[in-house]
Structure formats: structure tokens, C-alpha cells
Amino acid sequence: MALRYPDIDSHIVLEAVGMAYDMQVNDTGASLAAAINHQVSEGNSLAIYIPAVKFVIDASLHVLTHPEVAVTIPPNVRRRARLGVAVATDFMSMGVELDLFRELHTNSPILSQLPLSESQEHGFRDRGALISLGTSPFVDTKFISGGAARLLRREAIEPTQTADIIGQSTGLLAWAGIDKLYASLAYHTFGKVYLHTKHIQLETTETGVQVAFNENAKRQLATFYSEGSGCSFGRIPAGSNETDTPLVSYWKQLVNYLIQPDAVVA
């Protein structure tokens, strides 16, 4: 069991798979399961694969932040994102090949209560669709956080504070709500590699400085939304705090991985 990145030892990969699998099987988040079921009943069939995506991101971040691996990864944001996508792709492919996600659904006391349609059963073997779901958090976070980092650098914010400020700026996750059918046009409008700084601004809130879309950008973003569009993570509440979602917690972890104090945003 190995990844394509040559500096990642197989024992780290095995450790990551075991950790991520156990986390999902032993997750007692009944509210999350209920929310997933609600989303599926509303027509968002992809929500059933959120545990698989969580598995992939947990495993990927475990590998990428492992001390033996982390020291080999340069601070260039684009390269870090590209590596994240490659590792997530390998873990998703591995999960499909070993039928881990269907097994995960069966073995989890919570997830096993969720009904599966025939098409959803087939979806556990749809490598291309699952890879797209599993890698999009890395792609979206790179795009948004890279632009935010450029703005903070222009405003002379201390580099050691950059990741924390972006991680708290959860309003930027509005980007994750765009309909993927309009993705090409959205990138053409907002930026090719990173979110263009003309669309965002600094705001001072009760909790400190945050980066936020300006009013014109919010109006533009709304034109790319459609009913049920965007990342499933962003629409499913987790726990008692309805403003928190699986995407919010991973957003902060992904930002911390991508945006280093000496980040190169090129």
C-alpha cells in the first residue's frame, strides 16, 4: 500500500488509513448522519459520500503533516495544493479499490442506519466521481486562501498570523456554494489560480480581523448558485452549532497545511 509521492513511507500510509477509518467507523455523530439523510431525501444524493471524503481528507492531512513528510514539502502554496490533490486522489483510489467506503458504511453503527439506493451503492465504486469530491476541498481552499494570503501580505499583516486569520474567515466558504456547472465561468470571473484580491476586503469583527468577500463579489457569487448546488460539506450542519459544518473544520486544517508562515503565493 503506497502513494506515488516517493518520500512517503508505507508505514505512514498504513497509519493514516487505520486512523482515518477508525475515526469514521467510531464517529457517533448521529446529528451528522441525520443531516446527511435529510440532504439525500432532498435530492442531494452525493451527501451519502461525505464520510468517504472525510476519510480521504483525514488520511491525507495525517500524511502531509507527518514530521517525516512535512519537512520535505516546500512552502509554495500551489505546489502544496498539487501534492494534497495527488495524495487525496491516491487515498480515494485506494478506498474504491479495497471497497473501504462501502465497508465503512456497513460497519459504522451510525452510517449503517442510512438507507442506500442501488445508484448510491454503485457510487461507492465510481472512482472518478469520488476523486472529484475528495480533491475539491484542496482545490477550493488553495484558490480562496491563496487570494486571501495575497491580500494580507499587501496589508502588511504579520505572516505568522496569516493562516489564523484566513482560518477564522469562514465567510469565504461562500465560494464552495457555486454550481460546478458554472465553475469555468466562476474562475474566469474571480481569478484563475487564486481568488483576485479585488473581490475581498479586511473586516474587523468582535473576534478580530477577518477576510471577507466585498458586496459586489457577493452579488456576483450569487449568480453562480443554483438550488442544491455546491459542496455538500457546506450544507450539512454538524453537532449542536448549526453554523459549523464538516467543511468549516476541514477548512481550518487545510488552510494551516497550505499557508505556511513563509508561504510562497505564486
Bridge partners (DSSP) of residue 203 are 210
- Please give the pLDDT value at position 48: 85
- Please give the pLDDT value at position 25: 82
- Please give the pLDDT value at position 229: 62
Report the C-alpha gap between 90 and 138 in whole angstroms.
Answer: 14
Report the C-alpha gap between 227 and 44 in whole angstroms.
Answer: 10
Bridge partners (DSSP) of residue 202 are 211
Report the C-alpha gap between 60 and 88 in whole angstroms.
Answer: 6
CB atoms within 10 A of CB 177: 16
- Please give the pLDDT value at position 225: 82
Report the C-alpha gap between 34 and 114 in whole angstroms.
Answer: 8
Residue ranges in the chain modelled with pLDDT below 70: 1-7, 28-31, 228-247
Report the C-alpha gap between 95 and 87 in whole angstroms.
Answer: 12
Report the C-alpha gap between 264 and 77 in whole angstroms.
Answer: 6
- 209 three-state secondary structure: strand
Contact 130, 54 (CB under 8 A): no
> What is the DSSP code (8-state) at residue 264?
B
Q: For residue range 237-265, what is the model confidence (pLDDT) as tens digits?
A: 444 344 455 667 788 999 999 999 999 99
CB atoms within 10 A of CB 73: 17
Compute the CA torsion angle 120, 122, 124, 127 (nearest 10 deg): -130
Q: CA angle at residue 120 from 112 to 24, to 5 degrees?
A: 40
